[in-house]
Amino acid sequence: MKLISTLFIITILSLLCLGGMIGSENYKNEEDYDNYIIRYDNITNNGIDSFYNRTISNYDTYEEGYNDYNLGYMITETLYYGMKMSFRVARVGIKIGYQNPQYNFIMFSWMLNLFLILSVLLMCLPALPLIIAIGYLLYIGIKKLIKFIISYFKHLFLFDDDE
């Protein structure tokens, strides 16, 4: 459960960093914030609504089973909500980046990625002895198999080393 909440927090912070990078670049390029946000909202809303309408139009309650329709509809609604919230969080990041162009959002994003990699490695740490043991057993097994094949072909073609 801690992993899911950690990944959620890292995702939110990464979206804020992404928006911060976009906002600080817009400030450095002297773009108007209001016009950029209007274009951003139009593009994202049109893209999300287009995805939602195309996906919902694929479900026909008369041809498919009713339960399949409900499951697909729930998945589509969840994706729609997740995409909409992701773009809204990035929009907040754009505002933060536009108001604070002096901050280095790229370095903070790099640190978040490093933290994510470390947390995944720490999550895999309890399984490391098992993975090492399986790798060692595979190594021993393959080594014995190769020795067996070599000795089998030596005896098969009568290449004895004894003579």
Query: Residue 103 gets which letter from DSSP?
Result: S
- List C-alpha distances in Å: 120 to 27, 31, 117, 127: 35, 39, 5, 12
| Digit-coded pLDDT (tens) for 72-92 | 778 888 888 888 898 889 899
Q: What is the pTM of this model?
A: 0.63
Query: What does the pLDDT look like over 83-118, one tens digit per residue?
Result: 889 888 989 998 998 888 888 888 888 888 888 888
Q: What is the DSSP letter of 127?
A: G
Higher pLDDT pick, 117 / 136: 136
| Domain locations in the chain as residue ranges | 2-103
What confidence score (pLDDT) does residue 155 get? 79
**pLDDT at res. 60:** 59
Question: What is the arithmetic mean of pLDDT over 12-27?
Answer: 88
Question: Lowest-confidence range among 37-41, 63-67, 77-81, 154-158?
Answer: 63-67
**Residue 1 predicted with pLDDT over 80:** no
Indicate the average pLDDT of the chain: 83
Q: Per mean pLDDT, which range of 4-18, 29-43, 50-64 is the poorest?
A: 50-64
Q: Would you state the pLDDT for residue 74? A: 81
Instruction: List the one residue out of 119, 82, 112, 83 whose CA is nearest residue 20.
Output: 112
Residue 59 has pLDDT above 70, yes or no: no
Q: How far apart are CA 144 and CA 80, in angstroms?
A: 55
Cα distances from 128 to residues 125, 133, 134, 135, in angstroms, run 5, 9, 10, 10
